[in-house]
Amino acid sequence: MHYRTLGRTDIQVSLICLGTMTWGSQNSEAQAHEQLDYAIAQGVNFIDTAEAYPVTPVSRETQGKTEEYIGSWLARRGKRDDIILATKIAGPSRDPVREFRGGNNRLDRRNIELAIDDSLTRLRTDYIDLYQVHWPDRIVPSFGARGLSQISDTAETVPIEETLDALAGLVKAGKIRHAGVSNETPWGVSEYLRLAREKGLPRIASIQNAYSLLNRMFETGLSEFALREGVSLLAYSPLAGGNLSGKYLGGVVPAGSRRDVARQFVRYDLPGQALASARYVAIAHAHGLDPAQLALAYVNSRAFVTSTIIGATSLDQLKADIASIDIQLPETVLAAIEAVHRDIPDPCP
């Protein structure tokens, strides 16, 4: 396993991070524990979850189950000091199924303080290493949207300063070590950094955004923050919802797959996706590589990526994904990848 520094902290995280958003729906508690045991044995020390998980599919009945499964594993194994644990607070949502705390889940002090205590209880720990804002309080282009045509803030929109000040209180209380953001924009990252600099508030350590061969939009604007300002990219959806594995080519939808059970994930059902995926899969096959491992190895190789978040519903998938750490893509493969990107740039933002 390889390790990189999380932001400007003193924390070393594994280049492969174990994602967990299927635990509690597609994966049982026993399977979750099996994945944790295997990943830790392979040197993975970074675990990412969220109060909203599982989301395959989103359900009120399963909300919080993922954190509970991690908590029961920690209670049985006693390995809290061996892992870097990250979780997230949900932002506001117009979807009733995603509501928390009575449906008023803004990113204000009240919600942040309630959310962290609930997560700590489910996770059976007294601190979180990295506490992330899952998505902004304001409306931004995220989860597949492109661009921002107008500002849609309302009187209820919580200012970033209030959110960051509340996170500062959690740091002071010892409930979290560091703060991070997710699904953020260049302006949002800049604002968090400005407030930390000018107000003496905690400096965000990371940004968790989508990044894959089908979505390299992080490279425009945000990658410079990662490289110059030390705001680590924790790359989620590196297989673009499984499309880069090739399993959905030709319109095939395997029973029990994410596309089968979580039909709300439509961000990859866009023109150009199928053709781009097919060409990336063909590159892998032409060079004797597993398509999923090629896609992961590409993300792993980027200088602005600190950790690649993988998710698996089977142990075989997990083993193959973690093994991507040992793959170095030759220049011929990288050149072929760039050729596809020039032809079909970012079909799935």
Q: How many residues does the chain have?
A: 349
Do the bridges between strand 12-14 and strand 3-5 make them parallel or antiparallel, or are there none, so unpaired? antiparallel
φ, ψ (nearest 5 deg) of residue 63? -55, 130
Structure tokens at 215: 């979505």
Q: Active-site residue among 3, 38, 53, 280?
A: 53
Which of 212, 288, 287, 290 lies closest to 246, judged by CA?
290
Residue type, 86: A
| CA distance between the termini of the chain | 29
Give the orientation angle of helix 160-173 with respect to helix 186-199, to 10 degrees. 60
- Whether 53 is catalytic is yes
Q: What amino acid is encoded at 71 in this protein?
A: G
Q: How many CA atoms lie within 13 A of 111 on its CB side?
A: 22
CA dihedral 317, 318, 319, 322 (to 10 degrees): 120
Alpha-carbon distance of 33 to 10, in angstroms, equals: 28
CA atoms of 168 and 126, how far apart (whole Å): 16
Write out the catalytic residue numbers: 53
